[in-house]
Structure formats: C-alpha cells, structure tokens
Amino acid sequence: MITVVKPGMFTTVQDSGRWGYQAYGMSVAGAMDRYAYCLANLLVDNDCEAAVLEMTMLGGTFRFNVSTQIAVCGADMGALLNGTELRPWQAVQVAKGSELVFSYALSGCRAYLAVQGGIDVPVVMGSRSTYTRAIIGGFKGRALQAGDVLQIDDYQGLCGTVRELPAQLVPRYETEIRLRVLLGPQDDLFTAEGIETLFNSSYTISSEADRMGYRLDGPKIQHIGKADIVSDALCQGAIQVPAHGMPIVMMSDRATTGGYTKIGTVIGPDLTKLAQAKPGDTVRFIKCTDADAVEALCAERDTYCQAKQIFSTAEKSRTFEEQVRQYNVTIDGRKFSVKIKER
C-alpha cells in the first residue's frame, strides 16, 4: 500500500486511456505525457498500460507500506526518498516504511510515479484512468487527497539489476517549444493569411491550461467566414480556433465533440512537449506532412522498443555473469559438465 500524506496540486491515477467509448461521449483521459508515462512503466518492468500517478506542478508526499521498486519520469519535482535525492528516469528500490517527497516542478509540468505491478484501482470501462469530470476511474474518480490509501502489490523479487534510461533518451524540457502540426480537418475554413499566422507566430500558453486543453495567446488567426461548425469529433492534439482567433490545443480530458473549426492537429509524438509546458511558456507551430508525422510516430515506438531491449540485454548479461555456475563432476568414472542457474 501507499499512503498519500500530501496529495500535491492535482495528482491522479492514469494509464494509457479509456479508448473505445468516444461514440458515447466518454473522454479518453489517460496520461498527458505518454513518453514519460511509458518509460516510467518500462523502467519498473511493467507493460506500457499499467496505472501510474500523474502529478501536476506541485507533487505530493507518499509513504510506502510495502517494499517495492519505483521509477519517476517527466517533470523534475526535486524528489527526495527518505531525505536523499532520488534520481529520475531510473528504477529505484524502496524499502517498506520509506517516504517519498516531491516539491515544485523545476523543469517540466507533470511527473509520473510508476510502481512495479502498477497502481491497483478498479478497471472502469477498460481503463484505470481518472476522468474527474465524470467522476469515474482512478481513485474514486477524483484527484488524490491526504489520507487516501492506494493498493499496490507487495514486490517480493530481489532482482539486483536496477534499470536506468540512457542519457540520450532522457528529454530536456524547454520553455520555448516547437510542435509539428498536420493541417486539417477544417483548414479550408481559414484564410491563407490565417494559416500563415499560425505557422509564423509565437504563442504563449495562458493560465487556462489543464488536462482538457491548452489555451494559447498570440496573433489572431483569421477565418474565412464563421468560426462555428456543426459539432464533430475532437481528436487528441486538435487545434480549435473559436471566433476570437486564439488556438486551443485539445488534450487527454477533451470533450469528445466540439463545434469550433479545427485548423490542424499537433502530432501525437510532440504532445509530450506540450504536456510538460507551463503557463507562460511559448509555442511555435511547424507545418509537417503526413509522412513526417507517421515517421515521428514510428520513431517514438522505436524508442520504447530500444529501451526495452537495453533493459533486457543488461539483465541477461548480468544473469550470465552472476547467476550461472559451471561444475565438472565425475560420477562412477564418467565425467559430467553441469551448469546451475541460480534465481
């Protein structure tokens, strides 16, 4: 079990999202930064679907009532484990009774705490993700509060190898970010000047930036006619532009449908950067092609495979070095070569 001593600003249980119910008006939810989420899970030998804690801006304080292995990825919230600096982007052994304290995000916006085996909350409609607006999923459908107790499996294994992400795969969070955009579905409802404005301007993230969407401030994007359409579906990363001309990028807790024109879509692999951006940070949009976007998606998936491979190779070689012993034995005059694998 993990006891929540302090919840932090907005800490929720999230997984890869509640897919399959958007036709019924159910938002997908799920981790905002899927890169940090996925790697935190891989570091503790979970699959990429396991439930983790997502902390926002100000992290929480947690007491572990079991010994386990954890990994913290994403924003740097100056985590301290029993008073000692905890290294992010690597697996860490946690002894029963330990206290893990997070503070304000020094870089990035959202930190992910993965625990071996995942956070055990009930699966609602195929997912453990919290969707606070409908009060479902996660821990009682809400953000964590002091005193909440989260169930986790007691981790018995004593695998000596501690996984660590190679430095080149650890992202750096900038305060000026560039996001690749695929135009459409309603780019034809904007003037050529409006589209040029989108790609040639710098936008500032407003204070209205949450799990639902990021509202940006900057030069006004011009429509040809009206800014309203007959409502249609909203995909992740969709850039809605209402009549005021300011873009809103739709994130994990977005409504399933919307009635504003969508000039384009921030490509999936780049949403990790936006999920880690804070109010006041600046955004530039870069036009890209469908081929560029698919290539970026493939590259992201490759990174996960690469990470998995690095972890498993490291463990295999270690297993061979440390845990296999060879004996030459003679029984009744016959020689035997015996290998013993120790677990």
Partner 1 sequence: MSGIRMLPAGEQGLVVEFGQTIDSAINNRVHQTAKLLNMEIGDAIFEIVPTYRSLLVYFNPMRITRANLIRQIETMLKKTENCLSEQDQKQIVMIPVCYGGDFGPDLDFVARHNGLSPEEVIKIHTSDPYQVYMIGFTPGFPYLGGMSERIATPRLEKPRIKIPAGSVGIAGSQTGFYPMESPGGWRLIGRTPIKAFNPQASNPFLFDAGQYLQFKAITEEEYHEINRQVDAGTYSPVTHIHVKGGGAI
Can you tell me which of 1, 9, 20, 207 binds partner 1, judged by CB under 8 A?
Answer: 20
Can you tell me which of 229, 246, 310, 314 binds partner 1, judged by CB under 8 A?
Answer: 229
Q: Is 246 in the site for partner 1 (CB under 8 A)?
A: no
Q: Is 157 in the site for partner 1 (CB under 8 A)?
A: no
The Cα–Cα gap between 223 and 116 comes to: 49
Could you tell me whether strands 12-14 and 176-183 are parallel, antiparallel, or unpaired per DSSP bridges? unpaired
The Cα–Cα gap between 147 and 195 comes to: 50
Q: Is 48 in the site for partner 1 (CB under 8 A)?
A: no
The Cα–Cα gap between 312 and 318 comes to: 10
In terms of CB distance, is 1 or 233 closer to partner 1?
Answer: 233
Can you tell me which of 5, 48, 58, 134 binds partner 1, judged by CB under 8 A?
Answer: 134
Can you tell me which of 69, 98, 236, 252 binds partner 1, judged by CB under 8 A?
Answer: 236
Can you tell me which of 58, 169, 235, 246 binds partner 1, judged by CB under 8 A?
Answer: 235
Which window, 23-31, 98-106, 157-165, 166-174, contacts partner 1 (CB under 8 A)?
Answer: 23-31
Can you tell me which of 110, 211, 215, 262 binds partner 1, judged by CB under 8 A?
Answer: 262
Residues 280-299 binding partner 1 (CB under 8 A) are: 290, 293-294, 296-298
Number of helical (H) and strand (E) elements in the chain, helices listed first: 4, 21
Q: Is 183 in the site for partner 1 (CB under 8 A)?
A: yes
CB of 47 to partner 1, least distance (A): 17
Phi and psi of 136, rounded to 5°?
A: -135, 160
- Total binding residues for partner 1 by CB under 8 A? 43
CB of 294 to partner 1, least distance (A): 5
Q: Are 30 and 20 in contact (CB under 8 A)?
A: no
Which window, 64-72, 73-81, 214-222, 264-272, contacts partner 1 (CB under 8 A)?
Answer: 264-272
Q: Are 80 and 39 in contact (CB under 8 A)?
A: no
Task: Decide: helix, strand or coil at residue 317.
Answer: helix
- In degrees, to the nearest 5, what angle opens at C-alpha 121 toward C-alphas 117 and 126? 95
The Cα–Cα gap between 43 and 75 comes to: 16
Give the closest residue to 11 by CA, choosing from 90, 111, 82: 111
Please tell me what DSSP assigns to residue 188: G
Give the closest residue to 8 by CA, choosing from 84, 76, 59, 63: 59
Can you tell me which of 178, 184, 220, 309 binds partner 1, judged by CB under 8 A?
Answer: 184
Which window, 19-27, 99-107, 196-204, 326-334, contacts partner 1 (CB under 8 A)?
Answer: 19-27
Can you tell me which of 191, 202, 231, 317 binds partner 1, judged by CB under 8 A?
Answer: 231
Supply 312's token pair.
């498993």
Can you tell me which of 23, 329, 338, 340 binds partner 1, judged by CB under 8 A?
Answer: 23
Could you tell me whether strands 248-250 and 213-217 are parallel, antiparallel, or unpaired per DSSP bridges? antiparallel
Instruction: Identify residue 100 by its one-letter amino acid code.
Output: L
Kindly list the residues in this chain that would bind partner 1 in the complex (CB under 8 A).
Answer: 19-27, 124-125, 133-134, 136, 182-186, 229-233, 235-238, 255-257, 262, 265-268, 290, 293-294, 296-298, 301
